[in-house]
Structure 1
């Protein structure tokens, strides 16, 4: 039985040397083996020690043993991934992980890092986005490539089901870690994995392929909306002119404002905040009309004929 990760990497273009985000779990183990075989001597394993479990030191020792057997250098970064008040533990851990991986990669002169997220992870991400009422960006789920902290991250396994990766490991007697946190159903993703996906598989056996197609369609539509927003903002201006925004249809105005806030200020408004802002822009027809609305972690205010965003209200 061939490693399905190897098939996924066969036509994947990356710059060398290459980093592999390696946790020691089943998915990253299959990916590491495939990458080490495809690019011998050019692979660096990057391991993040989260410090969230007592077994984290054992995970690191397992990773060191595997990398030694494969003649792959292992680089470990330790992070404090504890979440703050009101913060999702999954989000806090993810942010800490990407920052640590980027730091490790940069330290080794690596510009490209492969991640082992697979087809089941993609479906879980889409379902979480649906549960949050996300728009097209959320429904597009995880992109095959992205830039973060100056590093290009790749997800070559998004079309590969988890069961295929695990089956290859078991058939070949390849050791990997069973992370006990993956069975902890306090986490939304784990509840979806253990309760929802089996039910979907029974009702819709081809769901991985169809969900992946929907994610790609959402990504294309999202890209078109971004292109439209750039065209509108070129006419509206940055910061945007209120009168020019009023000349747009409500949906195009919303699209332009959302794109401006996200790209210029990394501020993502909630649906309620965006609707309030649209109403205020539409109502702003007199010189004395003021606008001051909370948006994300800052404020949108009227300044003369334009809108401005401040992370702290002046």
Structure 2
């Protein structure tokens, strides 16, 4: 018997590990664009899931942004059905008119569609093909934005997507491994031209910035960036727990938060508590920025009678009688 090719083995092991502990009372779905990463993931899941007594399906999203996109989505769906995946679904989404730039709008539309399909089929998990290279790129983009530890933690291996667990099994697998796996399995991936379009920041990082770092610092830089994200994610989890406890202890009987209670906290804990409180009030996470949290923090630490802090979601917070409260409280 021929030995299993290392790239194929690595991806199958990653999928098996990701599915450990996931309930088996529904299908797992792979989000697949037809690119090498998601195609290799889909093939591995089609192999691994039945051997774990699970059903595995696939969903592909047509963003309608390129000529022939509907045909490509249909081709991915046909391949998946022939490969033994079920259920299989191709979904068309509308990107235009959504908030943010083109990348953000497409991502929002895609994840909304993925969550809807997953819920419709009773999926117990949704798998995406983000790799170690994607993680390294995300860290670099976060650095360029001046993001804090939360942003530098990049993509978590697991998160909730509107009630559906979203898993990223390949965050420790390199992009070169997914391409090698496709070659071994005779899979024909599609290369999205958007991935090399210099009008997109991630494309510039992928084609110019990360290769320059590899040339200057060696190939280990990709894994080191991804490892930095993992380390920061672990630190963030501890800080988030501390912030949750601090937030609970700062609440006042009449509503709002105690200024004195907040002032006694370490800055890193206090700003996280304020960030969590703002989300609790209804501020959308995607629109809540550092400047909003800094303005809330100034109500505690640099009070000089300033007016309300305006948060995304048409929210206002004021300092009143030693408390932070919403303007209508």
Query: TM-score, normalized by length of structure 1?
Result: 0.90
The correspondence for 2:324, drawn from 286, 307, 313, is 307
Aligned alpha-carbon RMSD (Å) = 2.3
Corresponding residue for 1:211? 225
Whole-angstrom distance in 2 between the partners of 1:118 and 1:309: 42
Is residue 23 of structure 2 the alignment partner of residue 15 of structure 1? yes
Change beyond 3 A, Cα 1:251–1:120 = closer
Quick one: which of 12, 15, 25 aligns to 1:6?
Answer: 12
Instruction: Name the CA distance, whole Å, in 1 between partners of 2:185 and 2:124.
Output: 31
Deviation of 1:149 after TM superposition, in Å, equals 1.0
Please say if residues 83 and 89 of structure 1, whose CA atoms lie closer than 8 Å, have aligned partners that are also in contact: no
1:281 alignment partner in structure 2: 300
Residues 45-91 of structure 1: CA distance to partner in whole angstroms, max 9, x if unpaired? 11111111112112112212311321223112221112547x22111
Structure 1's 201 and 290: CA in aligned 2 closer, same or farther, altered over 3 A? closer
Query: Take 1:252 and 1:176, find their aligned partners in 2: how far apart are those partners?
Result: 45
1:170-205 Cα offsets, whole Å, 9 max, x none, are 233212212222121110111111111211222232
Question: Residues of 1 paired with 2:290 and 2:81: CA distance?
Answer: 50
Gaps of 5+ in 2: none
How far off its partner does 1:7 sit? 2.2
Contact map agreement 1:22 1:47 (CA 8 A) in 2: yes
Q: Does 1:294 align with 2:310?
A: yes
* Alignment match, 2:239: 225
Show structure 1 runs of 5+ residues with no match: none
Write the distance in 2 (CA, Å) between the matches of 1:190 and 1:79. Answer: 22
1:80 maps to what in 2? 94
8 A Cα contact 2:132 2:171, kept in partner: yes
CA contact (8 A) 2:30 2:127 kept: yes
What secondary structure sits across from 2:89 in the alignment? strand
Q: Residue 34 of structure 2 aligns with which residue?
A: 24
TM-score normalised to structure 2 length? 0.86
Shift of 1:305: 4.1
Deviation at 1:114, TM superposition (A): 0.6
Cα gap change, 1:249 to 1:21, in 2 (>3 Å):
closer
